[in-house]
Structure 1
């Protein structure tokens, strides 16, 4: 049986390991940095500066939590749960060592320090010299066409003239932003949604199920409503990204509209099921069929509309 204070030693070991790894990485990079600065001067410093700017901004958007009230952390919850398993009595039930993720909170200092640590540890993965250059270029007062970005949301729903006037006035001015600013921002926002909406709520569902099942009352309808909301938000985000695809044609508006309708339908089902979960624990078979047939019906209608539109376009050629 592990000693009672094994968890304390494991925490100290984890902190020490992080400190050692950080020291080794910083030391090796410091030597490399010094040698490159001495050898290449501004030719090396400028890209490094731009990469640092982009790393700080993008990693903060992707990883930093701002909800200081709840103060959840997937990593520290997982470590705490693992330590609980190591220290547990061999005869104890699994549910006794898995607390609800919803109730897990870091202390305020720990939470703040962890947000800063995430940026320091993982910022290098978000380094993007072109994004940093674009940010500094815009800060210096130069025009990247950012004010023209909202125009892109109307492009799938308009029929442009055959000459180049529409593209010259509406599309070309926002190309710099679409090339260097929008893709990294969409990527980090998508990662943030994946972590703090998807993974976090899936953790909550799993741990809530373990606790509820131990009490003999699993709330299946409540879990289903959460998963419906996650799926709905993911589908809506996918529809939003369709505005920024490389090729927008006459069928893009149908694809965007159908995807949005499916996403909002799932959100509506989620809200409806969340309300009913106060009374019911299971979803009725009829409701399962309604959800499946609704999604299939929307997909079929959109598919037919796209097919007809394609046929009309081919006939006009």
Structure 2
């Protein structure tokens, strides 16, 4: 029952983040709007009023709106159930430190200078490993679902429905350029935010982050100019040219840095590899590994009962680091005896 309990807790939280709509003033629902549109189209034999095509004109009552939000959360819980995340939330609420307070420092690592003689950045990551592996990935995924469904798809459908209604009324079709630019700005900004938590950080990470936010800011500027400057909305060459110029600049900087790093691997790649080694040593508990050299061929004296009991306790807890190598080492000790073999060397 405990896994089910943790899955339920995790699923409810993630589903609430991903699917609950807070717009109580408009109270729109893309699902019910499409369902209502289909029912009217079927009942009226293909006849639909223009008002029915306008998504922004559809509004639910408060009761139905709240009931639909609760239904979405329950349905989403099934698909977004995550026992590990739920267990982490329960543990965090119980006082377990997941290193969340250290997340801002982790986000700044891409912009900090790295030294091959300094593992301070790795020491900043290590306390936040529980948060970075258990809590943040599901939360970021849930917010990603929200941006795609409740923000991106909703805005796109709303703009498309308004364009269709406007075309049927005036005969003029209008491409919602402002909406497209807004969605691009949101998507690129979200991508840039996710780049603060990559699986690997190097000298190019900050370039990608800065580039993503610059493109997002440029798109927001285009939206502002579209609304304030007459005719700027049709300046497609300027907009496309600006984005291409930024992308080429990012590509040029990354290419130059990669070329320099190929020639100076120790100075450029060494510090980042050193941080990765430090984190991996912590995860594998290598610093706590004790090496004991044992000579298999040496003659040993008889052991008393206390020594045997101590050795037995050690053998119950010790684990060979490289059991393949141990098997290769032990195999020749048997010699050519055909009826003796090692079943397993992983003790």
TM-score under structure 2 length normalisation: 0.73
Q: Partners of 2:121 and 2:111 in 1: how far apart? A: 15
What is the match of residue 130 of structure 1? 84
* Residue in 1 that maps onto 2:195: 242
For residues 252 and 218 of structure 2, the distance between their equivalents in structure 1, rounded to whole angstroms, comes to 20
Alpha-carbon distance, 1:163 to partner: 3.6
1:234-271 superposed Cα distances (whole Å, 9 cap, x missing partner)? 01101111111111110111111111111111111112
CA spacing shift, 1:88–1:290, aligned 2, 3 Å:
same
Residues paired across the two proteins, number = 265
Shift, 1:103, TM fit? 1.4
Higher helix proportion: 1
- 2:31 is aligned to 75
> Does 2:247 match 1:299?
yes
- Tell me, yes or no, if the aligned pair for 1:101 and 1:204 is still in contact at 8 Å: yes
Q: CA deviation at 1:100?
A: 1.0
Deviation at 1:129, TM superposition (A): 0.7
Following the alignment from structure 1 to structure 2, what is the Cα–Cα distance between the partners of residues 196 and 219?
Answer: 25
Is 1:161 matched up with 2:118? no
1:233 counterpart SS class: helix
Runs (5+) with no aligned partner, structure 2: 266-347
Q: How does 1:1-317 map to 2 (within 5 A)?
A: 45-90=1-46, 92=47, 96=50, 98-163=52-117, 165-216=119-170, 218=172, 220=174, 223-276=176-229, 283-284=233-234, 287-317=235-265
Structure 1 stretches of 4+ with a deviation exceeding 3 A read: 94-98
> C-alpha displacement at 1:218, in angstroms?
4.1
Name the CA distance, whole Å, in 1 between partners of 2:130 and 2:148: 27
Q: Give how far 1:97 is off.
A: 6.7
Root-mean-square deviation (CA, aligned residues, Å) is 1.8
Unaligned runs of 5+ in 1: 1-44
Deviations, residues 73-97 of structure 1 (Å, cap 9, x unaligned): 010000011011112255x4x5637
Q: Which residue of 2 aligns with 1:33?
A: none
TM-score (norm 1): 0.79
The structural deviation recorded for 1:181 is: 0.5
